[in-house]
Amino acid sequence: MSNGRLTDWARSLGLSTPIVCAPMGGVAGGRLAAAVSRAGGLGMIGMGSAGSVTALERELGALGDGIGAGGAPFGIGLVAWGIARDPELFERALAAGPALVSVSFGEWGDAHADASWVERVHASGAIAVTQSATVDEAMRAAAAGVDAIVARGREGGGHGDHQHPRDALLAEIIAAVDAPVLAAGAISTSSDVARVLDAGAAGAWVGTAFAACDEALTPPPARDALLRGSAADTLVTRVYDVALERPWPERFPERLLRTPFIDQWHGREDELAGDAEARSAFAAAAAAGDYSIVPVDAGEGVGHLTRVRSASEVIASLR
């Protein structure tokens, strides 16, 4: 049990520790999900901007025996605008039998937001979860029937609406909703887990700490970049999305490890969008896996990564 405690929410899912591996696209595949779940946490398969039915099928096949269908539970994380673009991906996710389905990066701040996915998740037998960056989003999500809310602090890595620090946001959302609330954002040590549990979190939603695991989809050169990184090396920017013309909405920039290319174009995204030569050069670097140019998503807890570990080792370090 993490820090000697097992929350009611974690117990209800059959976990032995209240730790969820965040569904990081391109990182959290089937092998990592299975390893986290076997270690007592909740492993998740992440389908980000490059998510597809084909990709999901591949990662579901990597789960192996004993995960799902009466074995250890697992979850699937999707992006709201992604499943709107590809409804079949959502259908396949539900059919896979996850215990939890997370749909995030939608428009909860809009009173007319489509929350029909929540009912579909419930009908499949899974619980519905979403990430919230503001109290208003959390309240709308709770009103729509979401079973648990992730309070996503601005310290977190990857895409998000980086507005409020984790601890303040966690406290405000816990006070505002009746649903269980998980904490996200630079949770990298057992002390971090203890801190958010002491504050009333139902669990810890952990990303970067798992990104360098040997079961992750992270390429070896990207792992090396993570092991060299520190909080001071991270930056919230849209440069990566603009350079590769990825369809992420502007309100969800990403926290990543800066590179000279990122520093050159940060704050000049509109100019980059019109510079086909610069974007072509970046795309070539991305295709070649050149992480001296291409950034790696990372939260402010990245400095705690000192070596490649197994998922079970990470879980043990967070208990």
Q: For 87-128, what is each residue's pLDDT tens digit?
A: 999 999 999 999 999 999 987 655 445 688 999 999 999 999
Bridge-partner residues for 53, per DSSP? none
Question: Quick one: average pLDDT of 15-32?
Answer: 97
Residue 15 has pLDDT above 70, yes or no: yes
Give dist(CA 48, CA 63) in Å, integer: 18
Burial class (CB in 10 A: 0-12, 13-18, 19+), 248: buried
Residue 3 has pLDDT above 70, yes or no: no
Residue 229 has pLDDT above 60, yes or no: yes
pLDDT digits (tens, 9 = 90+) for 122-171: 999 999 999 999 999 999 999 999 999 999 999 999 999 999 999 999 99
Average pLDDT, the chain: 94
Do the strands 234-237 and 127-132 form a parallel or antiparallel pair, or are they unpaired?
A: unpaired
And the tokens for 243? 């350079």
CB atoms within 10 A of CB 160: 24
What's residue 5's pLDDT? Answer: 79
Q: Which CATH architecture has domain 8-217+304-318?
A: Alpha-Beta Barrel (3.20)
Please answer whether residues 10 and 17 qualify as being in contact, where contact means their C-beta atoms are separated by less than 8 angstroms. Answer: yes
What's residue 2's pLDDT? Answer: 44
Percentage of the chain exceeding pLDDT 90: 90
pLDDT digits (tens, 9 = 90+) for 171-220: 999 999 999 999 999 999 999 999 999 999 999 999 999 999 999 999 99
- The gap from C-alpha 193 to its chain's centroid, in whole angstroms, comes to 17
Between the two ends of the chain, the Cα-to-Cα distance in Å is 6
Residue ranges per domain, the chain?
8-217+304-318, 220-288
What's residue 116's pLDDT? Answer: 86
* Burial state string for 23-37 with b = 16 or more CB within 10 A and e = fewer than 16: bbbbbbbbbbbbbbb
